Amino acid sequence: MKYAPAVLAAALLVAGCSSDNKDLPDLGPSITMSPPAANAGVPDSAKLMSALLTESELPVGFGALADPSIGPSAAQPSPTKASTNTDPPECAAVLEPIADVSPGATGRALGRFQGTDFSSIDIDAASYSPSTVADAFAHVQDVFAKCTEYSDKDGDGVKISFTLARLDRPKSGDSSVSIRLQTESEGVTLTSDVVVMVVGTTIVQFAATGTSPIAPQVLTDLVDKQATKIRDIK
C-alpha cells in the first residue's frame, strides 16, 4: 500500500509540515503465535470479502474505491515482477496484500477507502490452513524486519524514503504486530499506522494513512471491529 508517486507528489504541493521519525522505536522481537486447532475453519474469498469493514463502518469522509486493485494507495510492484525502483528490491513487498507477501493463501479479500487530505484506509485479509498460518504471519514480520529503512523513486526520479518502526499499541485479534511506516519526499511526510493481526486462520492487514497519524483510539476501535467481523464468519 505504499503511496503511488503521483499522490505523494500532489501531497508535496499542499502539505506544509514534515515529521521527524528518529524518535520511533525499532521493531523489537518478532511476535509468535500459537497455531489454531487443526480443525479450525478456513474462510474462502467470498466470506472474507463479506466480512471486511464497509464504508458505513469507517469514519465520516471515507469512500470505497470502485476497484480496490488500483487507486491512490495501490501497492507498488512486487519484487517478483520485472522491474522495481525499490532499494532494496524485497522491500517493495511492504504493505502489499498479505496473500501476495505470504503465498499459499486459501482465500483473500481487499478493500480500499479514500478520505480527505490524502488520507486512506486499506484493509486486506488472507486465510491459510491451520498448519501454515503461523508461518505466513512470521514471514510478514520477516519482511518488516528487513525493511526498517528503504527507498524508491517516482517517475521523475525524485527519491522517496521509507522508515518503518514498531508501533506501541494493544494486541488485536489472537496475535498482532503493529508498525508505523513513514513515507518522506522533499521534506513532507505521510504516516501509515498499520496493524497485522491473526484471527483464527485469517491474517488481516489494516493500514490507515494520512499527513498526520490516525488517532490511537480510532485505530483500536476500527481494528477491533474488523477482528470481530472476521471471528463471526460462519
Rounded-to-integer distance, Cα 77 and Cα 85, Å: 9
Residue 28 pLDDT exceeds 80: yes
What are the pLDDT digits (tens) for 33-74? 999 999 999 999 999 999 999 999 999 999 999 777 754 443
Residue 81 pLDDT exceeds 50: no
pLDDT, position 155: 79
Rounded-to-integer distance, Cα 9 and Cα 50, Å: 34
110 φψ region: left (φ > 0), alpha (ψ -120 to 50), beta (else): beta
What are the pLDDT digits (tens) for 96-114? 999 999 999 999 999 999 9
Question: What's the whole-number average pLDDT of the chain?
Answer: 85
pLDDT, position 164: 95
What are the pLDDT digits (tens) for 113-170? 999 988 999 999 999 999 999 999 999 999 999 999 999 988 788 899 999 999 999 9
Rounded-to-integer distance, Cα 43 and Cα 128, Å: 8
pLDDT, position 68: 77
pLDDT, position 25: 47
What pTM value is reported for the model? Answer: 0.85
User: Are 95 and 207 within 8 A, CB to CB?
Assistant: yes
pLDDT, position 16: 38
Nearest to 127 by CA among 100, 104, 96: 104
Instruction: Name the residue ranges covered by the structural domains of the chain.
Output: 5-14+43-231
Looking at residue 58, what DSSP letter applies?
Answer: S
Identify the helix (H) or strand (E) that includes residue 219: helix 216-231
Its CATH class, for the domain covering 5-14+43-231, is alpha beta
Higher pLDDT, 20 or 155: 155
Alpha helices in 15-54 (DSSP H): 45-51
pLDDT, position 14: 42
Average pLDDT on 14-35 reads 61
pLDDT, position 186: 83
Average pLDDT on 215-225 reads 98
Nearest to 38 by CA among 175, 233, 201: 201
Q: How far is CA 48 from CA 19, 124, 129, in A?
A: 35, 9, 14
Nearest to 47 by CA among 202, 224, 172: 202
User: Are 167 and 196 within 8 A, CB to CB?
Assistant: no
Burial of 44 (0-12, 13-18, 19+ CB in 10 A): middle
pLDDT, position 11: 46
Identify the helix (H) or strand (E) that includes residue 225: helix 216-231
- Among 53-62, 80-89, 121-130, 178-187, the range scoring the smallest mean pLDDT is 80-89
pLDDT, position 27: 84
